[in-house]
Amino acid sequence: MLIDRERLLEEEAQRLAPYAQKARDTRGRQHPEPESPYRTPYQKDRDRILHTTAFRRLEYKTQVFPNWAGDYYRTRLTHTLEVVQVARSIARALGLNEDLTEAIALSHDLGHPPFGHTGEKVLNGLMQGHGGFEHNAQALRILTELEVRYPSFQGLNLTYEVLEGIATHEAAYDTGFKAEYPGKGTLEAQVVDLSDAIAYAAHDLDDGLRSGLLRPEELTEVPFLQELAQEEGLDLSRLTELSRRILVRQLLGFLITAAIEAIHQEVERAGVRSAEEVRRHSQRLARLTPEAEQAHQELKGFLRERFYRHPEVLRERRKAEIVLEQLFHTYTRYPEILPKEVQARIPKGGLERAVCDYIAGMTDRYALEAYRKLFP
């Protein structure tokens, strides 16, 4: 039996919920091109993203711990894969388009520079007066301009809905690049947003405990975690490796279930019957139940105070700040030492933007090596 694109599109339209974004209803690509005979447009987008240089580099970009801190801590790549898992689980339960959800999730962090959010903060400060820096906007630049893989256009020529999913990321603090993507985004995009928050709360807790920077007894400061541990018969004062895994697994399961139930209730209450109605709705529909949202906020506050501001983490952040600031100032002062392909972009976007793109594309270890070559 041969299943071609037309059959895939037909089956998808029959199977998905009314409010889901169907691939047959895509607004298309900026540059017309033939579609795959055996893949839907969103499947094609997903595959293109997986083969990018930017996606491979995520393996060596910081989540919380830099890549060299240990083999078992999350990197930006493994974080992305966990977001994909959470998002697809939620999308499947709600009758959403899993292929679109996966494509957005795979690309949502492509614009992150080395050293995680610290790198983003540093580059944004350095680029004040030159357009700033924001990782969602950078992801769009990568996908529409910087990844060059086709002779007839720049970027990957992805569908409108995948690019919209990046542009409507709720956490974006710079909204200047969103003008082309009005509205709240598809429900698939909103689910990726929520899945991002769910995934990093759970795996950052796991990494913090594994590293020893978080002590198990400190978890008693989070009432929800204490309740969850009691339900599972776990003693937080003596948290073994197995019990830590059980705790994190149950935390993920609780948040995913809460997301599915809350989104279903919001969709029913809103009465949306199409993806366009989701976009135009007065508020975003992807959220947690009130109980889960309170628990999530408690956990985020705990991680912020006890983990993200731990002296060991802050020390690595300060090192990252020094490296990126020195690289930026050196490259903008001596652009002749930049690679030729980077110099070629200067006339179009300006020196600072060319340098920023170059640094943002670096992995942690490449940035450190570049620093060592300049400042032995």
Q: What is the pLDDT of residues 237-289, one digit of tens each?
A: 888 899 999 999 999 999 999 999 999 999 999 999 999 999 999 999 999 99
Q: Answer yes or no: are the C-beta atoms of 239 and 216 closer than 8 Å.
A: yes
Which of these, 339, 337, 327, lies nearest to 375 by C-alpha position?
Answer: 327
At 307-362, the pLDDT tens digits run 999 998 899 899 999 999 999 999 999 999 999 999 999 999 999 999 999 999 99
Q: What percent of the chain has a predicted confidence (pLDDT) above 70?
A: 96
Q: Answer yes or no: are the C-beta atoms of 34 and 52 closer than 8 Å.
A: no
Could you confirm whether domain 5-25+37-313 is CATH 3.40.50.10860? no
Question: At which residue do the structure tokens 């910081």 appear?
Answer: 62
At 351-360, the pLDDT tens digits run 999 999 999 9
Q: Answer yes or no: are the C-beta atoms of 253 and 93 closer than 8 Å.
A: no
Which of these, 139, 150, 144, 123, lies nearest to 34 by C-alpha position?
Answer: 150
Ordered by start, the domain boundaries in the chain are 5-25+37-313, 317-374
At 192-238, the pLDDT tens digits run 999 999 999 999 999 999 999 999 999 999 999 999 999 989 988 88
Write the DSSP string, 158-186. -BHHHHHHHHT-TT-S--GGGTTS-SS--
pLDDT value at 70 more than 70: no
Calpha distance 291→150 (Å, rounded): 48
